[in-house]
Structure 1
Amino acid sequence: MTSTSSPIAEKSVASEPRWDLEKHFGYASASDTKIDDEMTSIERACEDFKKTFEGKLDAELLEAIEAYEGIELTLTRALSYVSLSADTRLSDDNMQKRKASLMQRYGQASGNFLTWFNLELAALDEAVVAAQYEKSDKLRTYKPFVDEVRRSAPYNLSKEVERALSVRSSFAGKGKVVEFYGNELSRLKFDMDGKQVNMEVLLAKMTSSRDAAERAKCMKTLNDGLKDFERTAALSLNMVAGSWHIEMKERGFKTLRSQRNLSNNLPDDVVDSLLQAVGTTGVDYCKKYYALKKQILKHTQGLDKFTWSDRNASIDIGKGEDKYTWEQAVDLVRDGYNKFSPTMAKLFMDMVEEKRIDVPAQDGKRGGAYCSSSFGSGPFQLLNFTGTQRDVATLAHESGHGAHFILCYEQGILQFHPPLTLAETASIFGEMIVFRDLLEKTPSDEDRLAMIMSKVDDIINSVVRQCSFDQFEEKVHNARANGTLTPEELATAWREVMVNYYGEEGEVFDSYENTSQLYAYVSHFHNVPFYVYAYAFGDLLVGSLYGAYMKQPEGFEEKLLDLLRAGGTKDFVDAVSPFGLDPASPTFWSDALHAHLGGLMEEAEELSKKLGYSS
């Protein structure tokens, strides 16, 4: 495709760099008294905000929004810095105490002096809001923010109750338990061949090993280690599900997911349709895929028994790279992005060169990976890079988030963040771009099959597995309404969901041995209930978008960049309409599954037959 941007020059990068937060935020350290001075200033500003504007939004809405925006800007800077710093120092009790103290100050200021604002804005008469729009063009630029706040009106409680809930949240309730769960999870160590390793290293070893016995050993080590953690995980899950249940009841949400769907401006039936399609068409593809993988592993690794520990096993064929240095990973992502969008490639390299990525897998660091928006200072990526092909995909994914944030910062702090329905668009598209670029470079049919199988692994994990997680949450939350769940009951629910999505033992997987405690390390259940369907949503949307790109590449880059720049100012339907996609179609999600998985599965089956791995 053509682009008006010029290709970027290749630039060198340091080995496994750490992010440089102090440079970007302007603080000397997390204990810098400048942070305390800013928090004191914010507290005063919050108090003044309430005194100045409460009860006056019917006449001074624009002025109030601008003042609120200023508070959010200053607050985000301080809290983002401390939170990011704390995520690489989870074993430092003083660091965690510092973070908790600042969060408590924020909770008090927000609860006492800011909570009223959204409630009063949501309750304003429509005619009053319309009249102020008529008088101010600038106020109309905030309409997406105003609309988002006002959607919550039917579910809001009284000012007194909302204030009480807010000021208590940083001192008590589920938040502190979830924080404890996350910190303890990051501290877990597993005994592997006499050496203590963290979970990220153990999971990477299980995926990359070509030895089924070693993979099984890793799985047992993981499951046994999590057994000692199950009571902590159960406590946190019970707190989260119990809190979600009482909020749903008190606020009047109709279904378990309604609260999450509201924040994403999605009707319940759209999400239900997605879950239904994945639970049928997606599950069919899932079983078909693992049956194929089972045959390939039997021929290439002499696998006798296909167990859960073999689910993400790499296909040991071809001569392609299976281990990457950080420099190689950067080159791969840069080159892949540059082929599709020089704009995104440059944004990626800016993040690398400006030390916005914390790369190595280290003890005392939060597990997994994420990209923080950190409006005004960000974005910043946290990785746990061990050099696998999946780590390269993760870099491409999180860098897509980073590029997305940079592009939509122009919408301002109140409207930049994309809704969940679009939040994974750039990240998953980034993964797809890098995958397609690498696929073109494969030297043989064996390498091509190995790459396709790895990509389908990722799609199945993002779509089917994440929707299975959603069903697990549904089971847990429904049961929690009737009382606290024991670790044994959580393990039973986990097994039931595995059977629902992957079949009974013997259908595809010969054994689910050593899987009973795996629910305990899925942090999304605790941090963001019913978020997991976002991955399926994003992956299938990107599959549809990529299909549109292949049909009509001319002009596609600018359409996609426009979608990303819009941030939170467009809803899902408006955002995808320029690409000729119709989410209202009853077959939208099943069509997306066929488009996204069908072609890859067909090629994998053909290559497998050609190479003699399947009949």
Structure 2
Amino acid sequence: MKELQKRSDVRAQDQWDLTPVYADLAAYETDFARAKKLIGEFGSLKGTIRDAASYLRFAQIEEETERLISKLFVYGNLKYNEDMTNQAMQTLNQKGRALFTEYGTVSAFAEPEILALPDEVFEEILAAPEVEAYRFHLERKRNLKKHILSNEQEEVMAAFGDVRSASQSAVGIFSNAELSFPDVEDETGKKHLLTNGSYGQLIKSKDRTLRRNAFETLHRTYGATENTLAFLLTTNMKDWIIEARLRHYENSVEKALKPNNIPVAVFYQSIETINDHLDLLHRYVGLKKRILGLDEMHLYDLYVPLAEAGQDRYTFEQGVEMAMQGLKPMGEEYMAAFHAGVENGWIDKYENVGKRSGAYSSGVYDTMPYISLNFDGTMSDVSTFVHEMGHSMHSFYSRGNQPYIYGNYSIFLAEVASTCNEKLLIHHLIGKETDRDKRIALINQELEQVRTTVYRQLMFAEFEKVTHERLEAGEQLNAGDLDQIWLDLNRKFFGEDMVIDEAIKYEWARIPHFYNDFYVYQYATGYAMASSFARTILHEGTQAAQRYIDKFLKAGSSKYPVDVMKDAGVDITTPQPLQDTLKDFSELMDQLEREYGLA
């Protein structure tokens, strides 16, 4: 049974290097005091925005304050995620969150005040040469004018920031620091450690008894507290719905999409398109059942590799070398920056006691684009590394080529660069592989990527759609209601060849993304857009890669995301990118059938 090491025992070279952010807590506290001072003085700007010069002064002070607060917050958050049982770091994280709430309260006047300016004054500000860099930023604000509340109302909303995020914070602490699972046995009676982190590997085991026990134990452990978790989740949803109404959005979906000028049809169209192609997922379930030789196909059989090669293990260094080879089509400039990030302390590599589960890329304009992994040596872990490096490279290029105001990129585009990296890697690995078992394992991995990133995430999106619509209609949803919605969706998506195990009804309780309303559909749209980019880069070579870097990675939020994509050559307002991805899914199944002589 694998034992997790304590954070204090992790080698320095396996940790991210946060010292460029703050050398020590004394440096953090110095900046914290300066941020408090800036926030305290920020209120004096109220009522001063009258023309281009006064707006520019306001914007410069706003940027200085926000950059400092963001840096403090991300440092506290990263330190906390290293070991969520560390109460001192819990406090540091909470201090950063509280700082954002305090700043939000004192700065709440800004948008209402700017948008209340007479049209002629607003136009004069937009026309001023010294405000050129802020023009698109201001135009975006004006497009949301009807959704901005009065000064007093915005101050109240901001003051409740910490309270309104309490459900998400509580679930994070519970799932990562307090919830524990019994050990699970394999077919020989050997016990295995079950954590949120280790579950991903146990569910892929060739030992069906171990898979089943891990599946049942994990979900039923969440199920034991489902009433509390249902209350926290529906409270979070209601908060989103109430704010949508207060801000005069048509519904909660519009609240999620309109700030980035994304047509709501993109969300509904994605769910409709995937429902029109459920037959392909049903075909995949039946194909996998035949290949595995199972009388019954259960949900815990979905993740098992189809070939022994899927069990190969790799060191982190080997994973880096695989990435460097697979991403060569991106060109020398990209690869040099990629390698420098690996070597210069961007990455926290391995799981330890109390470390946040999963993997993510994080950082702000004035930090490195840090990555947290729980690398365990599987091919999936190598893909996850490449995925998160895609996020970080997107951040690296955006922040390096845009001013602060446009240095980030929208959530809608967040999964494109990461998934494009994965697509390039898997294409390289399949293309060069001569061993049949390893080739099958790679084809299976790519099929699983479509299943989990497109089908699964759009099933999640449909869950959000159904639950939000029912709450918007005035219904009250309890744990049993969420269970039933989840069961019905699983039955519809997986079809008749799948045995829908009852324990799956609790799965909604362990999905942290549901606390970021209407985020998950963007994994699927992002995957579809990334597939289009990867296909073009592979067909056209370095010229296409450079266009992708220049028009997409470097664009940040200097345009609306749909426009950024169109400039780079992909139109996500049509179903075509998603349909093309599902065509690839079908062709991969054709390839798998040929490998097994089933065609």
Using the size of structure 1 for normalisation, the TM-score is 0.89
**Which whole-Å CA distance do the structure 2 matches of 1:124 and 1:350 have between them?**
47
Q: 1:520 to 1:419 in 2, by over 3 A?
A: same
The residue that corresponds to 2:214 in the other structure is 218
For 1:360-382, what per-residue CA distance to the aligned partner results, in whole angstroms no more than 9, with x for missing partners?
A: 12221111111013221121001
- Give the aligned residue type for 1:315: L
Q: 1:578 to 1:62 in 2, by over 3 A?
A: same
Kindly state the Cα deviation for residue 203 of structure 1 after the two structures are TM-superposed: 2.2
CA contact (8 A) 1:261 1:267 kept: yes
Pairing of 1:186-201 with structure 2 (within 5 A): 186-187=176-177, 188-190=179-181, 191-193=183-185, 194-201=191-198
Q: Percent identity, aligned pairs only?
A: 24
For 1:324-367, what per-residue CA distance to the aligned partner results, in whole angstroms no more than 9, with x for missing partners?
A: 11111111112222343322322222222112111112221111
The residue that corresponds to 2:4 in the other structure is none
Kindly state the Cα deviation for residue 55 of structure 1 after the two structures are TM-superposed: 4.0
**Which whole-Å CA distance do the structure 1 matches of 2:353 and 2:127 have between them?**
56
The residue that corresponds to 2:79 in the other structure is 85
Kindly state the Cα deviation for residue 126 of structure 1 after the two structures are TM-superposed: 4.2
- Give the aligned residue type for 1:355: G
For 1:278-310, what per-residue CA distance to the aligned partner results, in whole angstroms no more than 9, with x for missing partners?
A: 2212x2322222222221111xxxx22110001
Kindly state the Cα deviation for residue 117 of structure 1 after the two structures are TM-superposed: 1.2
The residue that corresponds to 1:571 in the other structure is 560
Q: Among 110, 115, 128, which residue is 2:108 paired with?
A: 115
Q: Among 329, 334, 341, which residue is 2:319 paired with?
A: 329
Kindly state the Cα deviation for residue 457 of structure 1 after the two structures are TM-superposed: 0.7
Pairing of 1:422-441 with structure 2 (within 5 A): 422-441=413-432
Which blocks of at least 5 consecutive residues in structure 2 are unaligned? Answer: 1-10, 186-190
Pairing of 1:170-185 with structure 2 (within 5 A): 170=162, 172-173=163-164, 175-185=165-175
**Which whole-Å CA distance do the structure 1 matches of 2:100 and 2:346 have between them?**
25
Which blocks of at least 5 consecutive residues in structure 1 are unaligned? Answer: 1-13
The residue that corresponds to 1:11 in the other structure is none
The residue that corresponds to 1:284 in the other structure is 279
Matching of residue 560 in structure 1 with residue 548 in structure 2 = yes
**Which whole-Å CA distance do the structure 2 matches of 1:419 and 1:246 have between them?**
23
Pairing of 1:282-361 with structure 2 (within 5 A): 283-298=278-293, 303-317=294-308, 319=309, 322-361=312-351
- Give the aligned residue type for 2:67: L
For 1:95-145, what per-residue CA distance to the aligned partner results, in whole angstroms no more than 9, with x for missing partners?
A: 21232134223312330x211112223343443232223221x41222232
SS state at 1:517 partner: helix
For 1:377-436, what per-residue CA distance to the aligned partner results, in whole angstroms no more than 9, with x for missing partners?
A: 121001111111111111011000100101011312221111223222211111111111
Matching of residue 26 in structure 1 with residue 17 in structure 2 = no
Q: 1:396 to 1:570 in 2, by over 3 A?
A: same
CA contact (8 A) 2:440 2:595 kept: no
The residue that corresponds to 2:468 in the other structure is 477
Kindly state the Cα deviation for residue 147 of structure 1 after the two structures are TM-superposed: 2.6
Q: 1:376 to 1:289 in 2, by over 3 A?
A: same
**Which whole-Å CA distance do the structure 2 matches of 1:601 and 1:52 have between them?**
58
Q: Among 108, 127, 130, which residue is 1:134 paired with?
A: 127
CA contact (8 A) 2:69 2:96 kept: no
- Give the aligned residue type for 2:284: Y
**Which whole-Å CA distance do the structure 1 matches of 2:419 and 2:62 have between them?**
33
Matching of residue 598 in structure 1 with residue 594 in structure 2 = no
**Which whole-Å CA distance do the structure 2 matches of 1:457 and 1:529 have between them?**
25
CA contact (8 A) 2:330 2:542 kept: no
Matching of residue 375 in structure 1 with residue 365 in structure 2 = yes
SS state at 1:414 partner: helix
Kindly state the Cα deviation for residue 607 of structure 1 after the two structures are TM-superposed: 4.0
**Which whole-Å CA distance do the structure 1 matches of 2:354 and 2:545 have between them?**
40
Kindly state the Cα deviation for residue 578 of structure 1 after the two structures are TM-superposed: 4.3
Pairing of 1:144-159 with structure 2 (within 5 A): 144-159=136-151
Kindly state the Cα deviation for residue 42 of structure 1 after the two structures are TM-superposed: 2.0
CA contact (8 A) 1:58 1:124 kept: no
CA contact (8 A) 1:559 1:578 kept: no
Query: Bigger CA drift: 42-51 or 423-432?
Result: 42-51
Kindly state the Cα deviation for residue 182 of structure 1 after the two structures are TM-superposed: 0.6
CA contact (8 A) 2:298 2:499 kept: yes
Kindly state the Cα deviation for residue 550 of structure 1 after the two structures are TM-superposed: 4.0
Kindly state the Cα deviation for residue 75 of structure 1 after the two structures are TM-superposed: 1.3
CA contact (8 A) 2:46 2:109 kept: no
Q: 1:483 to 1:276 in 2, by over 3 A?
A: closer
Matching of residue 608 in structure 1 with residue 593 in structure 2 = yes
CA contact (8 A) 1:494 1:516 kept: yes
Q: Among 21, 30, 35, which residue is 2:28 paired with?
A: 35
**Which whole-Å CA distance do the structure 2 matches of 1:350 and 1:550 have between them?**
24
CA contact (8 A) 2:329 2:542 kept: no
The residue that corresponds to 1:3 in the other structure is none
Kindly state the Cα deviation for residue 249 of structure 1 after the two structures are TM-superposed: 1.8
Using the size of structure 2 for normalisation, the TM-score is 0.91
Q: How many residues align?
A: 578
Kindly state the Cα deviation for residue 594 of structure 1 after the two structures are TM-superposed: 4.0
**Which whole-Å CA distance do the structure 1 matches of 2:116 and 2:281 have between them?**
47
**Which whole-Å CA distance do the structure 2 matches of 1:509 and 1:436 have between them?**
29
Matching of residue 48 in structure 1 with residue 38 in structure 2 = no
SS state at 1:371 partner: strand
The residue that corresponds to 2:444 in the other structure is 453
Kindly state the Cα deviation for residue 155 of structure 1 after the two structures are TM-superposed: 1.1
